[in-house]
Structure 1
Amino acid sequence: MEHTRILTTSRAHVVSVMGAGVLWGTGGLTGALLIDRTGLGVLAVAAFRLLVGGGLVVLWLLASGRLHRLRTSARGVRRLVLLGALAALYQSCYFAAVQLTSVSLATLVTLGASPILVVAAESVAGRRRPDGHIVAAIVTALAGLVLLVGTPAAGDPAAVLAGTACALASASGFAAITMLGARPVDDLGALPTAGLSFCAGGLLLLPLAAAGGGLTMDLDVATLGLLVYLGLAPTALAYGLYFTGLRTVATGSAALFSLLEPLTAAALGAVVLDERLGTAGLIGALLIGTAVLMTATGRRR
């Protein structure tokens, strides 16, 4: 009976991490619509995304009467701030890579390097070789990612080098969030951890966003709806699911499930924006889906 309960919980956590990847995939389209509507810079959108997502969680904690019952140690507060700083690093470095080079290079390096960095960290910490099953899934996923996103066009070598460095910094930030999120912060729970840390991350990102082009916009009903969705679904809820899943899902596997993000974004682009994937893109999507299935039927932590 106990074994069945543990297995059911483990499967639910896999679904949680996969759900996070799907929700992240809706963030790109929502952010693009918000930028087109308001003219905000990408750093401003990233800052508002973290602040709105964190703020909505705090409002929920207040309304439910849970906020005053939260007890966090000084060490827990430091970890919340660190998670927020890593989220700000991940967002800002990714957008910096996009501005220096292209979306394709930033996406390839950031999402491609993240599972490799996590699995490498797992292996070093555990003093063991990487699991062969997960290595095969990573290779399959990387091949699919190249075909889905496309090969980056050649550009100024200095800009490409700087953009690649920013994308690697972004990948390192996401990998660190994954490793750190696998350990609960005191007894806060996954969603309060995400909300409180993102409030901190948004506040840290605000000065950079203000220096990069301002934070003002015309706030109408449609813009407010986009802001609320961006903060709620692909941010607060997605990371709440991700941190929940990390309780039993191996961190390397969780990082691989994040590749559902470009898969979802490509599907939304085809349905909403009438973007054609082409043969290479369809093969890439199939390979990523195969890698996700390989991971889902593989190991647990």
Structure 2
Amino acid sequence: MLVSEKPVVAARGSATGLWSLVLAGVLWGTGGPTGGLLAHQTGLSPLAVASYRLAVAGLLVIGWLCLARKPLPRSREAWSRITVNALLAAVFQASFFAAVSLTNVSLATLLTIGASPALVLAAERVAGRRRVGASRLAAVALAVAGLVLLVGTPAGGITTTGALAGGGLALLAAAGFAALTVIGTRPVAGLDDLTATGVSFAIGGAVLAAASTLTSGMSFVPTPTSVGLLLLLGAVPTATAYALYFRGLRTTPASTAALIALLEPLVATLLATLFLGDRLSAAGLVGAGLITIAIVLNTRGHR
């Protein structure tokens, strides 16, 4: 009886992991528009927004851990993982918001998250950790095709130089996110998802704050709107979303998780269209549909 229950427990864990990833993708979609609104309200640079985002998320999680009286990890392996995650998060966030400032929310988000599945799949293939099947290749191909349609005719006002520089920064952010995803599939004993998220982001935020202080500065005039946006940015699309994402990685392959993360550009594009004045062409709508199909096919294939 106990032996027969193991597949059921594994299936439940896999389903929970998938839903954690789906919810993380949806919550992430609010990050770009919220960060853009925060920058507009405060005049903060992309680097400052990224540092505040990580720092606030980290401090909120650490505060919760203190209230729960949960001790910090002590092993060298746990702190090595935390340090690596902190540096990757800093690179990812700084590059992403810099790309947003040079292009727009939709284009930066689509390039960053859209390129990640291909990078993760390539990493898995090179490492020999997972066989690349036809269904997985088809899902990635659909996602890439949808990405091309979505960003093929970006909104006006973006210069060629801005598009090239912003695209390069978005791809750098994609590489950072892909590395976080691949590394996150290997759990560390004694290090839970919430602790890893909070401590890593607090360190990453401090690294970016130091860089921002030396360049663009961190000061702004606090208002109820700006403080509310800052707390929202740290709590929802950062602390909560990443904790869910790391939890999902425990039972889901990295390439599957990276494809599910494509929910972020879909949600971000919808929000940017509704509230930030971005516009999608007919080809863009088709691209969004292809990305949705890729996510559904990939999720059903994993289940």
Name the TM-score, length of structure 1 as normaliser.
0.90
Which whole-Å CA distance do the structure 2 matches of 1:296 and 1:127 have between them? 19
Q: CA deviation at 1:270?
A: 3.9
Offset of 1:29 from its aligned partner? 1.2
Give 1:275 shift.
Answer: 5.2
**Bigger mean CA deviation after superposition, 101-110 or 78-87:** 101-110
- For 2:93 and 2:278, how far apart are their aligned partners in 1? 25
1:181 paired residue number: 184
Deviation string, structure 1 residues 206-263 (Cα, Å, up to 9, x no partner): 1222233211112222222111110011001101000000011110011111110110
Measured against aligned partners, the alpha-carbon deviations of 1:142-195 in whole angstroms (never above 9, x if no partner) come to 1212223443588556x6655444333221111110011112233221111111
User: How far has the Cα of 1:274 moved from its partner?
Assistant: 6.5
Give 2:244's aligned residue: 241
SS of the aligned residue for 1:110 comes to helix
Q: CA deviation at 1:99?
A: 4.8
- The one-letter code of the counterpart of 1:255 is A
Residue type at the aligned position of 1:241: L
Are the counterparts in 1 of residues 116 and 258 from structure 2 also a CA contact under 8 Å? yes
* 1:41–1:222 CA distance, 2 compared to 1 (3 A): same
- Distance 1:192-1:272 versus aligned 2 partners, 3 A rule: same
Structure 1 residue identity aligned to 2:67? A
Amino acid at match of 1:280: A
Structure-1 separation of matches of 2:230 and 2:294: 32
2: distance between equivalents of 1:15 and 1:128?
Answer: 22
- The one-letter code matched in structure 1 to 2:213 is A
Task: Pick from 126, 139, 145 the counterpart of residue 137 of structure 1.
Answer: 139
Alpha carbons of 1:48 and 1:276: their partners in 2 closer, same or farther (altered >3 Å)? Answer: same
**Match of residue 85 from structure 1:** 87
Residue 52 of structure 1 pairs with residue 56 of structure 2: yes
Report if aligned partners of 2:120, 2:178 keep a CA contact under 8 Å in 1: yes
Which AA in structure 2 matches 1:147? L
> How big is the shift at 1:72?
2.5
Percent of aligned pairs with the same amino acid: 48
Q: CA deviation at 1:103?
A: 5.4
> Structure 2 vs 1, CA of residues 253 and 43 (structure 1 numbering), >3 Å: closer, same or farther?
same
Match of 2:26 in 1: 22
> Which residue of structure 1 lines up, in the alignment, with residue 215 of structure 2?
212
Distance 1:166 1:275 in 2: 20
Consecutive unaligned residues of structure 1, counting only runs of 5 or more, are none
Q: Secondary structure at the match of 1:65?
A: coil
| Alignment match, 1:118 | 120
Distance verdict in 2 for CA 1:167–1:204, change over 3 Å? same
Question: What displacement does 1:2 show?
Answer: 2.4
Partner of 2:67: 63
> Whole-Å Cα distance in 2 between the matches of residues 27 and 127 of structure 1?
31
Tell me how far 1:128 sits from its aligned partner.
6.0
Distance 1:143 1:106 in 2: 17
2:265 aligned residue: 262
Partner residue of 1:2? Answer: 6
- Count of aligned pairs between the two proteins: 297
CA contact (8 A) 2:105 2:268 kept: no
RMSD: 2.3
Bigger shift: residues 228-237 or 147-156: 147-156
Indicate if the aligned counterparts of 2:96 and 2:112 stay in contact, CA closer than 8 A. Answer: yes
When residues 96 and 112 of structure 1 are mapped into structure 2, their CA distance, relative to the original with a 3 A threshold, is same
Confirm or deny: 8 A CA contact 1:97 1:106 kept in the other structure.
Answer: yes
